[in-house]
Amino acid sequence: MLCGGAAAIAFMVTLGTSSWTTEAAAKGRAEWKTEYSRPGEVPFPEENPYTAEKSALGHKLFFDPRLSGSDYISCGTCHNPSFSWGDGLPTGFGHKMTKLGRRTPTILNSAWGELMMWDGRFESLEEQALGPMGAEAEMNQQLDSIVEELAAIPGYRTLFNMAFPADGLTIENIGKAIATYERTIVSGIAPFDRWIAGEESAMSSAAKRGFDLYNNKANCVACHAGWNMTDSGFHDIGLPDDDIGRGNVLKNVVKMQHAFKTPTLRNIVQRAPYMHDGSLGTLKEVIDHYSDGFTRRDSLSDEMKPLKLSEDEKADLLAFLLTLEGADPMVAAPILPANDQVPGAWLKRLSPAAGGKAETPECRTARLHLRRCK
C-alpha cells in the first residue's frame, strides 16, 4: 500500500478491519473504476471565491521574489512547475540557503486539500500562503511591512484594487490572491483518466494489473483514494527518522506521532525523491518500503502490514503509477509590476533585508546584485 487514511481508519473502527478488507477484496475492476472519475470543476471557498483578477494577481505574487526578505526567493523557487510544483531536492532550501528539515510538498491539486503542510499545521491555503513567507528559515519576510513594500509598486496598487475593490492591498488579500492562483493548479488528463473514461488502449495490461493490486492486495487505496489519490489524512508509514510530524501539533495522540500528510499520487513520477524527508530516490524504493521495509512502533498506521509483493507484482504496480502523469499545460512566467520609477517616490520604502532602515536606489541595486551595502 502507499499509506494509511483517516477516513479508512474511521471506517474500520466502526466495522472492523476484517470486514473492510473483505468488502474491498470483493470489488472487481469495473466497480473500482467508478471511484476514480475526475471532478467537473475546481472548488473555491465561499470566503474567497474565484475571480480572474484575483487569480492573475496571485500568479504574479507567486513568482515574485520581492515577497521574500532577501528579494531573491519566491513561492515558485521551491514550488517549481517543472518538478510538478516541488523542487526536486530531498529537502528544501530557504533564506541564506538554510537547509530545511523536510522535502518541499507539491501544491498540485491543493484546491481539494484540507489541512496544509506535511504536519497539517495550517488550516487553509490562505494561511499556508503566508506561513512560509513569514518564516525566518524560509522566505524571511516581515509580514507587517510587506504591505508597505508592495504598495510602493504602482502596478500592484492597481492590481489589488481591481481584485479586491473593497479593501485593496492588505496582508489577508495577499494570502487570498496566492491561494486563488494555487487552486487553479490542477493536474492534466493522464492515461489513467482516459482509461477510466473508457479508452481501454490508454493503459497497458501490466498497468491494469497494477490497478487491481493498488485497490486490493497492495491496499494503496486505503490512503491514496479517489481521483486525486489521497485521503488528505496523516499517517505514520514507518520511516526510520526522528521527525514526529503531526505529533508536534497533536502531542498526546499516539497515532499522530511520526505521522505525515498523504500526498497526491498525481504526476508522482515527476517528484522524486520521495517521502517527507526525501529519503527514497525512486518509486521502486517506495514500493519496496511498503512491501516489507518499514519500521514498527506504537504510532505505526494500522494499514501498514507486510505485503510480500513479488517482483512481477511490484513491476505491475509501478506500471500503474506511471499512468498517473498528466498532460499538464505549460506555465508561463508572469510579467511582474515594475518598481516606481518616479525620482524620490520610493526612497522611504523600508526593507526588512536592509534591517528595517531606509535604503537608497543605489543601495537597493547593490543588494540585488549581492554586493555589500554600507
**What is the per-residue pLDDT across 312-364, written as a single tens digit (0 to 9) for each?**
999 999 999 999 999 999 999 999 999 988 776 555 554 444 344 455 555 55
What pLDDT score was predicted for residue 51?
Answer: 98
- At residue 3, the pLDDT reads 39
- Pure H helices in 63-153: 75-78, 125-134, 143-151
Q: Which amino acid is at 103?
A: R
Residue 339: per-residue pLDDT: 92
State how far Cα 54 lies from the chain centre: 20
pLDDT in tens, 242-270: 999 999 999 999 999 999 999 999 999 99
pLDDT at 220 over 50: yes
The Cα 164–Cα 48 span in angstroms is 11
- List of domains in the chain: 6-42+188-322 (1.10.760.10), 52-185+339-368 (1.10.760.10)
Q: How far apart are CA 220 and CA 270, in angstroms?
A: 19
pLDDT at 202: 98
For 342-367, give the DSSP string: STTTTTT-B-GGGTT-B--HHHHHHH
From 295, 277, 293, select the one nearest 285 (Cα to Cα): 293
pLDDT classification of 11: cutoffs 50, 70, 90: very low
At residue 362, the pLDDT reads 55
Cα–Cα nearest to 313, from 345, 294, 287, 285: 287
State residue 139's pLDDT score.
95
**Burial class of 249 by CB neighbour count within 10 A (0 to 12, 13 to 18, 19+):** middle
Q: Give the C-alpha separation, 73 to 368, whole Å.
A: 12
Neighbours of 234 (CB within 10 A): 28
| 325 contacts: CB under 8 Å, gap ≥ 6 | 190, 191, 267, 268, 269, 270
CB neighbourhood size of 113 (10 A): 21
Ramachandran angles phi, psi of 110, nearest 5°: -70, -10
Using 50, 70 and 90 to split pLDDT, how confident is the model at 7?
very low
Tell me, what's the pLDDT at 354?
Answer: 39
On whether the CB atoms of residues 141 and 95 are closer than 8 A, the answer is no
pTM here is: 0.84
- List CB contacts of 40: < 8 A, sequence separation 6 or more: none
Find the mean pLDDT for residues 123-146: 93
User: Which three-class secondary structure state does DSSP give residue 261?
Assistant: strand
Q: What is the pLDDT of residue 355?
A: 45
Cell of 357: 532602515
| Residue 54 CB-half CA count within 13 A | 22
Q: Is the pLDDT of residue 105 over 50?
A: yes
How much is the pLDDT for 364? Answer: 53
pLDDT tens-digit readout, 266-313 = 999 999 999 999 999 999 999 999 998 889 999 999 999 989 999 999
Q: What whole-number distance in Å separates Cα of residue 180 and Cα of residue 44?
A: 8
Task: Name the percent of the chain lying above pLDDT 90.
Answer: 80
Task: Supply the mean pLDDT for the chain.
Answer: 87
Q: Is residue 140 over pLDDT 80?
A: yes
- Among left, alpha and beta (phi > 0; psi -120 to 50; other), residue 85 is left
Listed in sequence order, the residues at least 6 apart from 198 whose beta carbon sits closer than 8 Å to its beta carbon are none
- Select the more confidently predicted residue: 354 or 223: 223
Distance separating alpha carbons of residues 354 and 73, to the nearest angstrom = 16
Q: Which residues are catalytic?
A: 138
Q: How confident is the model at residue 144 (pLDDT cuts 50, 70, 90)?
A: confident
**C-alpha grid cell, residue 50:** 474565484
The angle at the Cα of 321, spanning 317 to 323, to the nearest 5 degrees, equals 120
Q: Report yes or no: 203 and 323 within 8 Å, Cβ to Cβ.
A: yes
Return the pLDDT at 69: 92
The yes-or-no verdict on residue 38 having pLDDT over 70 is yes
Runs of H (alpha helix) within the chain? 6-15, 17-26, 29-33, 52-62, 75-78, 125-134, 143-151, 154-163, 171-183, 191-196, 205-215, 283-292, 311-322, 361-368
The H helix count followed by the E strand count for the chain is: 14, 2
In this prediction, residue 8 carries a pLDDT of: 35
Integer Cα distance of 262 and 232 in angstroms: 6
